[in-house]
Amino acid sequence: MAPSKKKHASGQPCIIPGGFTVLSLQFSSDSVAQHKLYVKEHKVRAEKSSHRPLDRTLFVLNIPPYCSEGVVKELFSQFGCVQSVELRDHPGSFQDSGPKLSRFFKPVAKQGFRVGYVVFENSSSLRAAKSHPHDVSLVVCTEQRPVKTGVQKWIQQYTESFINPDKLQHIVDSFMEGYDKRKEEEAERQRKEAEQQQEDEEGWVKVTRGSKGTKGRPHSEAANERTLQKEMRKKKRKELLNFYTWQHRNTQKEHIADLRKKFEEDKQRIALLRAQRKFKPY
C-alpha cells in the first residue's frame, strides 16, 4: 500500500485511504533510507478477546524483519506505556490454545515483513501514535537500544542456538508437571460426570440443575457407552428366536451335537470306572 503523494504540512500526520496513518522509520539516526509503517486503530468487533481491547489496540502493518517484539515495544513506548506486543505473519484472531511452549519447542519463525498488534495501557497513547507527524522518524537502533543485523545477527543467533542442558531439563520438568496436573484435573472431571450420570437400581439417572448461565455439556464417553449397552440389551430381548426355518434347523443341529458330545464323554467315564474296579469275585 503506497502512501499518498499529496504534500502535507510539517508536523501533521499523513493519513492514506483506508484510515491508515503513515509513520516513518529509520534504522539509525544517520541512515538516509526510510521505511514506512502503516498504523490504525484495531476495530474488529467480531473478535471478543480481552487481549486486544478495541479502544487501546494499535494495528501495525509492514514491520521489517529486524524489528522484534522488544524493539517494537520500545519504539511505541514514546507514545505511552505499552502493555503487550504481538507480531504475526498474517492478520488474524488471537490464538492462545494449549500450554505455553518454550522457544526450544516452537517452530522457527519466518523471516519477513510482519503485522503487529500493540496494546497500550491508556487510550490516549493510541491517539498520540495516530497523530504522530509523518516527517519525524522513529529510530530503531540507538546507543541505549542497539539492534544487530547482518553477520552480527547471525553470530548472535548461532550462539543462542546452543541449549544449556540444565535449563532445558528445568523447562521439560515444568511442562511435564503442568501436563500431569491437567491430566489429573481431566480424570477428576470425568469421574464427577460419571457419578452424576450413574444409574440407580431401577435404571433412573439423577439430573441436577446447573448454575445460571451455564451451557449444557455433551454426554461423556462413559454415558454414551452405557446407553449403547442398554440399547444392545433391549435389542437382544426383542429379537425373535427360531422365527425362521434356518434358525430352527441350526438350533436342532447344535442340540444334537451337544447330545453326541455328552454321550461320548459318558462312555469314556464308564470305561474309566470299569478299568478302576478292583472287586473280582472269580
Q: What is the pLDDT of residues 203-216, one digit of tens each?
A: 566 666 655 555 55
Would you say residue 256 has pLDDT above 90? Answer: yes
Contacts of 20 (CB under 8 A, 6+ apart): 1, 38, 39, 40, 61
Collapse the DSSP code of 173 into the 3-class scheme (helix H, G, I; strand E, B; otherwise coil) and give the result. helix
Collapse the DSSP code of 35 into the 3-class scheme (helix H, G, I; strand E, B; otherwise coil) and give the result. strand
Residues 147-157 have pLDDT tens digits of 877 788 788 77
Please compute the mean of the pLDDT values over residues 8-36 and round it to a whole number. Answer: 82
Q: Which DSSP symbol is given to 98?
A: S
Least confident interval from 7-11, 16-20, 174-178, 224-228: 7-11
Give φ, ψ of 88 to 5 degrees: -135, 160
Would you say residue 217 has pLDDT above 80? Answer: no
Would you say residue 2 has pLDDT above 50? Answer: no
Would you say residue 176 has pLDDT above 70? Answer: yes
Would you say residue 32 has pLDDT above 50? Answer: yes
Would you say residue 1 has pLDDT above 90? Answer: no
Least confident interval from 1-5, 87-91, 122-126, 173-177: 1-5
Would you say residue 259 has pLDDT above 90? Answer: yes
pLDDT band of residue 95 (cuts 50, 70, 90) is low
State how far the Cα of 52 lies from the Cα of 119, in Å rounded to an integer: 7
Q: At what angle do helices 221-238 and 165-196 cross, to 10 degrees?
A: 40
